Amino acid sequence: MKKINEMKLGIHPINWVGEDVREHGEHTTYEQILDDIAKLGLAGTEMGRKYPSDIAVLKKELAGRGIQLVSQWKSVLFSDRSYQEQELEAYRKHAAFLSEMGSKVISTAEVGGSLHFDPRRTPNEKVVLRLDEAGWAALADGLNKAGAIAAEYGMKLAYHHHGGTVVESMEEIDRLMELTDPAFVHLLYDTGHAYYGGGDPLALLRKHYDRIAYIHLKDVRQAVLDSARADEEDFVGCIRKGVFTVPGDGCIDFGPIIGELGARGYDGWAMLEGEQDPALHPAYEYAIKALQYLQSLQAAGERKE
């Protein structure tokens, strides 16, 4: 298993097959993705839309390559209390599946108010609807209850702050952490989404380290971000333009981030993410570049000690 410092490195299948931009890697098979992950020497992945839905088949395919299913994204709509009962029921089913697969964290994100994920929105709308006081209270209540469900299964709810949602900026992340119970609601720290949301990834790491249960390592192309924002692109439009890439290929300085994680002894999972068109940016080749970059940062840090 490849490690940087003490953390376990895995990779997200979104590097091969888009989740938000469905045409990215659409004809890629799950066998190719898993074979590439194994060749990279990585032992962790998240659930992807091309992976087998049959648990027995999925277990066999992963075990045969020595790969652990670390998590799977779970959208929730807790900010609207009328959805809470059905959302918690769906969350329990999700937790049961991940528990069966041996996962320890549930990547969780509120979709209420978002343009692309909220089932109540219409295609002609243009802006994310930020939460009011009642919405924040409902969201916190729902997350605390979902976190308790995760705990029943021996897992942690890891909240994924995310571009194009109502928990995107540093201020929104701070508020979510303040309103939720630290015993039940943890943080999925995502470097790329922190930067996309206008924050400093290193500052976020330092401020909320004690809540972090899971990590996504993602980079941002500054020129693409500036251009997309000038064109008033929404979140999915930014992905189509190539705003995200793997660590070392964008503008984020991962040196201090890797140093901070090493100093604090983070030993959980960290997923490499690019979320870009694999036809232009082949997932396997970019993963090798990212691994080499991260290993060079660790080596540089060790030389300073």
182-203: pLDDT as tens digits: 999 999 999 999 999 999 999 9
Helix axes 30-39, 283-304, angle to 10 degrees: 30
- Domains (ranges, CATH) in the chain? 72-217 (3.20.20.150), 219-252 (no CATH)
Band (124; pLDDT cuts 50, 70, 90): confident
Q: Is the pTM of this model over 0.95?
A: yes
Which residues are registered as beta bridge partners of 220?
244
Q: Where are the beta strands (DSSP E) in 211-259?
A: 212-217, 219-220, 244-245
Please check the confidence at residue 305 and state whether its pLDDT lies above 70: no
Using CA atoms, how far apart are residues 50 and 47, in angstroms rounded to an integer? 8
* pLDDT value, residue 301: 74
Work out the mean pLDDT of the chain and round it to a whole number.
96
Please name which of 119, 89, 7, 97 lies closest in space to residue 52, comparing C-alpha atoms: 97
* pLDDT value, residue 29: 98
